[in-house]
Every structure is written in structure tokens, then in C-alpha cells.
Amino acid sequence: MSARRPASPYARALARDAGLSLEALSGSGPGGRIIARDIPAVAGEDDGDAALVGPVQETADVVILRRQIAAPRDSDALLPPLLRQIASDRVIALADLRGFEIDNADPMPGPGQDAALGLAGRGGVLNVTLTLKTRRMSLQDGARILAELADALEG
């Protein structure tokens, strides 16, 4: 039986989430202890100043968005089909809360999700909120997703 590699609990969790074995890592902490900043370097993330992030796995399909945006702007039927096509099987639940006069949504990513997108609006104004788990997704990736969504919505 080999000795357990010294590592912080946070580094262990990051390595586990990234599918990395602690045995393959070099620690930069005291006494060679593996710490959080050791994980991104091994996972191919060479920017030591960046947040601990993973690659973006999927973003909105702009082609589908553009096709749906061609529908009349005042169509009540536009948003739910648009979201269903963007999300396909990546969404746990999609709620239509039009009758509740909600004008803002601030969703939290669920277990196993890197981000959650909230859309709410009233009076012709659509508020969009993207909540990220910054351990898994960078703010730059989130900004890119929002820019693609805005571009698609503006046509």
C-alpha cells in the first residue's frame, strides 16, 4: 500500500473533479503538498493568475438562435421554443412563469452544472442573468456566451 500524497482537501476535490490522480501531480506547497494552484497547471491551464476554470463544454448554437429570432418580435411563442432548442438535453427544468410578472431571474447552477441562464422580462425588456461556477468556467467564457446570445437576439 502506497502512502497517501499530501494534498489540501480543496486540491483533492479539484483533482477528483478534473479526473486527475494525485499520484501524477507535483506539489508546490510546504513539504511538496499538493495545493489548489497545482491542479490547473497539470490540467493544461498554464495561466497561474486565472481563476480555477475548466473548458467551456457547450454554448448556445447561434444558427438555431438566428433561425428562431426570425419569428415576429412580439410573438409570445418565441422564447420557450428558443430556450428548448438552445438547451436541448442540458437543462434540468424550464419554467414558464409569465403569469407571475417576474422581471428578473437569478438562477444558481445545479449539481453537475457549470452555469445557469435566467431570462425574465416585462414590457418588452428582457433581462438576462448568467450565473457561473468560476471554479469550472471563466468569466471570459461567460462574457463570450452572453455576447453570442446578445448578437443572436439582436439579429
Rounded to whole angstroms, how far apart are CA atoms 148 and 10? Answer: 33
Cα four-point dihedral sign 67, 69, 75, 76: positive
Rounded to whole angstroms, how far apart are CA atoms 133 and 116? Answer: 9
Domain ranges of the chain: 1-51, 62-154
Name the least confident of 32-36, 40-44, 63-67: 63-67
Quote the pTM value: 0.38
pLDDT, tens only, 100-126: 666 666 777 777 777 887 777 666 677
pLDDT, tens only, 132-155: 887 777 888 888 888 887 777 766
| pLDDT score of 42 more than 80 | no
- Residues of the chain above pLDDT 70, percent: 50
Return the SS3 of 131: strand
Rounded to whole angstroms, how far apart are CA atoms 129 and 45? Answer: 27
Q: What is the CATH number of domain 1-51?
A: 4.10.320.10
pLDDT confidence of residue 63: 43
